[in-house]
Amino acid sequence: MTDPDQKNILKFTPRVSDKPETKRIKPPPMFNIPSATKYLTGGMIGLYALLWISGLFVTDLGRFITGLGGFISGSWTGVAPFWWWTPLTPFTSIFLHGSWMHIGMNALMLVAIGSGVEKWLGTKRFLIIFFCASWIALLTHFAFSPHSTSPIVGASGSISGLFGAILLGMRTDNSNNPLGGNILPIIIIWIVISVLMGIMGSPDGSNVAWVAHIGGFLGGIGIAHLMLQKSQK
């Protein structure tokens, strides 16, 4: 027997599309900046902006803090006072900058060069080159100016080292090097430009620690070379 009411029930089954499902591909971001490069750049810009704003309320406060956190060779040779925070200045000096032009140029260079190095070598090796190149730059400045009382600030030594590392990558991959693997001409040009900047000064009128730039640049090449040798073993 059948229930007469069930005869009047219409049953619908969903229509299955014969077209394969396609996943929506998310477009890549306009600025694909790796994490470490992005946070370092943003942190430096944010710190300088904070010090600049503080200077609007307290006269020369930002300049005073920048002077305290800068690396001073004379503090290590007895010419200038050695404060309790002096051992921290090889680290703090990297993130301090002297002007908007200074931080602007370094931020652009860090994004342009640092992104390539971080994508190539990874975040860990990128950070090793970033900090070690800066410390080599400061040691080079100290070796040539041990009695200097002028504070050294900025990430230029780090960026110079990253540029040296990316040059070594161009030497390894000849397809990206118009000079066919020979990076010596670029090294010479970089050194000449650094010396000229030291003689003429920066566009904002401040002095340029050109010796530190060269030290960081050569240090970055050396560190990247050791990394590549280790990875090939």
Give the residue numbers annotated as catalytic, written as ranges.
156, 213
DSSP string, the chain: ---GGGGG-----PPPPSSPP-PPPPPPPSS---HHHHHHHHHHHHHHHHHHHHHHHSTTHHHHHHHHHSB-GGGGTTSS---TTGGGHHHHHHH--SSHHHHHHHHHHIIIIIHHHHHHH-HHHHHHHHHHHHHHHHHHHHHH-TT--SPB-SSHHHHHHHHHHHHHHHHH-GGG-TTTT--HHHHHHHHHHHHHHHHH--TTS----HHHHHHHHHHHHHHHHHHHHHHH-
